[in-house]
Amino acid sequence: MTAIQDIMQEPVLVLAPGDTVAQAISAIRAIPRNRLFTYPMVVDKKGRLMGLCVMRDLILADDKARIADVMLTKIVSLQKGLDVHEALSRIKGREIPEYPVCARNGKLRGVVRAAKLHEIEEARLTATPGRMVGVDEGETVATPFVASVRSRLPWLMINLVTAFAAGLVVGNYQDTIDRVVLLAAFLPVLAGQSGNTGAQALAITLRTLERTGTTDFYSIALWKEIRLGILHGIVTGILVGLVIYVVAMIQGDKGPLVLAFIVFVATILSVLVSGLSGASVPIALKKLGADPATASSIILTTVTDIVSMGSMLMLASMLIRYLT
Amino acid sequence: MTAIQDIMQEPVLVLAPGDTVAQAISAIRAIPRNRLFTYPMVVDKKGRLMGLCVMRDLILADDKARIADVMLTKIVSLQKGLDVHEALSRIKGREIPEYPVCARNGKLRGVVRAAKLHEIEEARLTATPGRMVGVDEGETVATPFVASVRSRLPWLMINLVTAFAAGLVVGNYQDTIDRVVLLAAFLPVLAGQSGNTGAQALAITLRTLERTGTTDFYSIALWKEIRLGILHGIVTGILVGLVIYVVAMIQGDKGPLVLAFIVFVATILSVLVSGLSGASVPIALKKLGADPATASSIILTTVTDIVSMGSMLMLASMLIRYLT
């Protein structure tokens, strides 16, 4: 998070409302040509922002006119303390190149250029996929080795703990796998499908959060993922069921139809839960005050792994008498 | 990809180099106040861009001065046909609010506002995590159900095929799993670790591609991932090895030390290969002319699943005589 005061600059030209246009123009003349600025700012005696002047209006105005009469007073100012992302959502859709920054008491503190805000926001947005898997916002290929280790290794350690949680679920059903070893080959299939479904829902939710700035859409998102989960679950469930049926027939395993039923139900269940989790995890993180992108991916992978592999193995162990 | 001509506007004011400043100012007076524009553009008789005027310079200049003498000629113009992302990389670091757009022959075609370019770029960047897992650039929670199915389901189908590839590898070693069923519990652990490592390398590479626009850093990226992969592989390999050793001891499995050795080596190998793949996949897609973000994730998951689970099971089947 970059605060707006970290990137604001001194206002180049500050006028008083009583100044004349002629005075303003001679003040502009006195500014070195290479200093970039767009608007002279107008403040009262206490330094509070009253308005700003557009160069075009100064050109059109009479020399003797007062600044108070030619300045714009309906202006968008940004408050000190805003972060860049919030500032950008305030100025969304406006094509103004420079904004005044004021303190809470209305005093002009500086100006900030829209291009600078966008530059920082774009750097933050290119960082999103990395933040989801434990890569520091600033890390690129050029980052030194030790800094990369520091940013990435802790995340791999956390991931290891959650991966063991999934392993524990599978380990819990060693007996079932021992008796129907074909199930082991379908562990990556179920985990892969539900992982992808969850990642899709996660991406959509993150994107909607980013664009709207609110979590109000949560119930709509849930309802959408329920419908998508059921449909996608049925379609993929049929395919996965079909494959295990054929393989079990070829291998001469017992109960191919029961196996097909198990993976069919497990696929629907895990695709559904993954979609709902993908929509819920970033919302929950946001409501807890955390960055919705950071840690989303790791929590989601754990959920999808456990639900998908767990549901298949649990069903199989419940129906084990038809399989051995 | 949005092309610059799709968002450019008509130039509001076009001057000739022989016009006087007074003429320019009266032309500006004639423009409705609510029409937003920043610079009058200057073109020759054939409509080719010669320069542009800064309002401030018009204020400072003498009424009788010629536009040719007050205009800026060292200007940044954008060429028709550029996409928004390329256009932004041309204007990076500049704080100019409006750019002229020219045809290849130098003729002025329109103007484009920097704010508009940034707006489109930011929408594209918020879409990146989604593109990586098969979600259309424009999809949000508000997208209709059928459109979401159309965008997401094909990707889930492709993912299913690649998940079966991983399943096939595991299925190939059913005999080994049958004899050392504990290995099944470590399939998600290895897949999880290498998946996370690969996703980290992928994110860094995508981000560096996005920010630099070139693939020149590829050898640096590879060398970095080799060192990170070895270090991270050893650290996580020791932990995973330790856990399987303890579990095998508790369960009374045969050859706990051999099992620890197997997962240790498999972890190093898969973390290393995943890191290298994460760096290579987006570079390869970029060189093939594809969007480096789209499909990266799916290819990577397949590689990491196959390498991680495959290497563990292959090693185990090679050393099976110490395990049964």
Which chain B residues are within 8 Å of A97, Cβ to Cβ? 38, 95, 97, 114-115
Q: Does the fold of domain B142-322 match that of domain B4-126?
A: no
Tokens of B167: 């399943």
CB contacts of A188 in chain B (<8 Å) are 163, 166-167, 170, 187, 191, 305, 309
The percent of residues in chain A predicted with pLDDT above 90, rounded, is: 75
Inter-chain touch B168–A145, beta carbons under 8 Å = no
Distance CA A62, CA A69 (A): 11
B134 has a pLDDT exceeding 90: no
Helices A218-251, A182-212: crossing angle, 10 deg rounding? 160
Beta carbons of A109 and B172 less than 8 angstroms apart? no
Predicted local confidence at residue B55, as pLDDT = 87
Does position B294 have pLDDT exceeding 90, yes or no? no
Say yes or no for a CB contact (<8 Å) between A155 and B196.
yes
Percent of chain B with pLDDT over 70: 100
Buried b / exposed e over B240-259, threshold 16 CB at 10 Å, is: bbebbbebbeeeebebbebb
Q: State the smallest CA–CA distance between residue B280 and chain A in angstroms.
A: 13
Q: How confident is the model at residue B190 (pLDDT cuts 50, 70, 90)?
A: very high
Q: How many CB atoms lie within 10 A of CB B57?
A: 18
Contact with chain A for residue B250, Cβ under 8 A: no
Query: Tell me: the pLDDT tens digits for A215-262?
Result: 999 999 999 999 999 999 999 999 999 999 999 999 999 999 999 999
pLDDT in tens, B203-218: 999 999 988 888 999 9
Mean pLDDT of the residues in chain A:
92
Q: What is the pLDDT of residue B235?
A: 96
The span from the CA of A48 to the CA of A58, in Å, is 21
Distance between CA atoms of B186 and B181, rounded to whole angstroms? 10
Model confidence pLDDT, tens digit, residues A182-221? 999 999 999 999 999 999 999 999 999 988 888 999 999 9
User: Average pLDDT over chain B, rounded to whole?
Assistant: 92
Domain boundaries, chain A: 4-126, 144-322
Nearest residue, CB atoms, A207 vs list B94, B130, B207 = B130
Contact B197/A at CB under 8 A: yes
pLDDT for residue A320 is more than 90: yes
**Digit-coded pLDDT (tens) for B264-292:** 999 999 999 999 999 999 999 999 988 89
Q: What is the pLDDT of residue A29?
A: 86
* B95 at A interface, C-beta within 8 A: yes
pLDDT at residue A93 in the model: 82
Options 3.30.930.10, 1.10.357.20, 3.40.50.150, 1.20.120.530; CATH of A144-322 = 1.10.357.20
Average pLDDT (B20-40) is 88
Give the span between the Cα atoms of B123 and A210, in whole angstroms. 10
Q: What mean pLDDT is predicted for residues B227-251?
A: 96
- Fold classification of B4-126 (topology level): CBS-domain (3.10.580)
Q: What does the pLDDT average to over A27-46?
A: 88
- pLDDT value of position A95: 82
Average pLDDT over residues A139-165: 92
Q: For position B192, what pLDDT does the model report?
A: 93
User: Is the ipTM, as predicted for this complex, more than 0.95?
Assistant: no
CB of A141 within 8 Å of a chain B CB? The answer is yes
What part of B 34-73 touches A (C-beta under 8 Å)? 36, 38, 55-56, 58-60
Average pLDDT over residues A155-181: 94
Q: Is A79 left (phi over 0), alpha (psi -120 to 50) or beta?
A: beta
Nearest to A59 by CA among A32, A86, A22, A87: A22
A111 and chain B: CB distance < 8 Å anywhere?
A: no
A257 touches chain B (CB under 8 A): no
List, edge to edge, every strand of the sheet that includes A41-43.
Answer: A14-15, A41-43, A49-52
Structural domain B142-322, CATH architecture:
Orthogonal Bundle (1.10)
Q: Which residues pair with A41 in a beta bridge?
A: A14, A52
- What's the pLDDT tens digit per position in A263-286? 999 999 999 999 999 999 999 999
How many CB atoms neighbour CB B194 within 10 A?
36
Q: For residue A244, what are its two tokens?
A: 């295990």
Give pLDDT tens digits for B150-187.
989 999 999 999 999 999 999 999 999 999 999 999 99
Q: Once rounded to an integer, what is the mean pLDDT over residues B101-108?
A: 94
- Residue A123: in which H helix or E strand, if any? helix A114-126
Q: Is A269 an interface residue toward B (CB < 8 Å)?
A: no
What's the confidence (pLDDT) of residue A270?
96
Q: Measuring CA to CA, how many Å separate B255 from each of A305, B132, B247, B263?
A: 28, 41, 12, 13
Residue A289: in which H helix or E strand, if any? none
